[in-house]
Structures are given as structure tokens and as C-alpha cells.
Amino acid sequence: GDSVTQMEGPVTLSEEAFLTINCTYTATGYPSLFWYVQYPGEGLQLLLKATKADDKGSNKGFEATYRKETTSFHLEKGSVQVSDSAVYFCALYKIIFGKGTRLHILP
Amino acid sequence: EAGVVQSPRYKIIEKKQPVAFWCNPISGHNTLYWYLQNLGQGPELLIRYENEEAVDDSQLPKDRFSAERLKGVDSTLKIQPAELGDSAVYLCASSSPGSAEAFFGQGTRLTVV
């Protein structure tokens, strides 16, 4: 069946470091892919999305490219900030979520 | 525009008691989702509605869980009787026709003691 696998956390980085959170998926066809973020004490929010192969989603300095050849949708940011500390979820369609990756950014 | 509204935000009940959660989706969103989120895990779909029809309830434990979406707007998720293992956050989300994005409510944190 369809599934999403993302890297386990927690991930701890210093401010201004480069971030990569890996996400791979298993699905038939070419599903829409999403990254959601959950800040402490808040609900899930859509961070970015890509609806077809080779699309790049971007928002708030984060980017992810839909790679059908590697069935991946890795999240990247060139310079993280303390305010990026949150839990990040990779998702397939709007239905199947990864387990989440907790990110801690140290000042 | 108001987002997805869920109530209550928190609920503590004793095991074997019934409990109900309510969700009001964003106006105009015909698709409504209920998810279960255990601590340290991602959301897991319980049921998906298209208007008033449940189109995917394969993951809903039907022996104790039930849901309804009368008139295709608000929805209620019920557990009867609750068990200790039901302690989790119950999330509601909605999306508009043809949209790739789901909008989530704040969730209801259930604690069964």
C-alpha cells in the first residue's frame, strides 16, 4: 500500500546551518506531495506542496523537489533559524503522513 | 475567514465512558477528514467525507467509533466506550473541491483515565 518514510528525529542544528529532512514515498502513479509543519502548541500547517513530478515547492525559505525517479521529496533550507524549531511531516495526498521529524535549532 | 474549528480542545474522561468531538470545517469545503495523532507519530486517517458521504472509513474502528456529517457541513466523531488506548489528539481537517491542500483544526486532546 501507499506509504511515507521520513528520517527520524530529533534533528539538532545550530542557527544558520543547512537543513535536509529526507522523505521517500511508495505509491501508485504520481501523487501530490506535501510538507506540513507543527509549531509548539499550534495545529498542523501546510508548509509547501508539489503536485507533479519535477515540481519544486517553496515557502519561508524551505524548498522540496518532487523526484519521481527516486520517489523522494526531501525538505531543505539553506540557513535555519531558531523560529524553525518544530515538527515537520511529509505527506502523500492529504491522507498519508510520515511519523514526523522534530527539529531543534540552537541559537 | 475562520479556520477549521474543533471543540473541545481538551477532554478527560474515565474509561468505558462515551465522548464526542465536534468539527466545523471552513465554509465551502466539501471534504472533511478526521485523523488520530498519537504522541510522537504522524496523523492517521480515520474517516474522510465528501459532502455527507463517508467515502473512506476503512481505518475507523467501527466497534466503538462512529462519525456523522449531517447536511455535509459540521461533523461529530464519537467513541463509545472509550478505552485507555484511545488517549490521543483527534484532528479534523477540510479541503475545497479540487484543492491539493487540507486545512487542519487545533485538535482535541483526549485523555482516558
DSSP characters over A12-42: EEETT--EEE-EEEE-SS---EEEEEE-TTS
The answer to whether A21 and A11 are in contact (CB under 8 A) is yes
Is any Cβ of chain B less than 8 angstroms from the Cβ of A32? yes
Query: With 90 as the cut, is the pLDDT of residue A43 above it?
Result: no
Is any Cβ of chain A less than 8 angstroms from the Cβ of B43? yes
Burial A32-56 (b: 16+ CB within 10 A, else e): bbbbbbbeeeebbebbbbbeeeeee
Which stretches of chain B drop beneath a pLDDT of 70?
1
Residues 53-92, chain A, touching B (beta carbon < 8 A): 89, 91
% of chain A surpassing 70 pLDDT:
99
Is any Cβ of chain A less than 8 angstroms from the Cβ of B48? yes
Among candidates B7, B3, B2, which has minimal Cα distance to B107?
Answer: B7
> Are A98 and B91 within 8 A, CB to CB?
no
Closest residue to A100, CB basis, from B33, B41, B106: B41
Average pLDDT, chain A: 94
Q: What are phi and psi of A21, to 5 degrees?
A: -120, 120
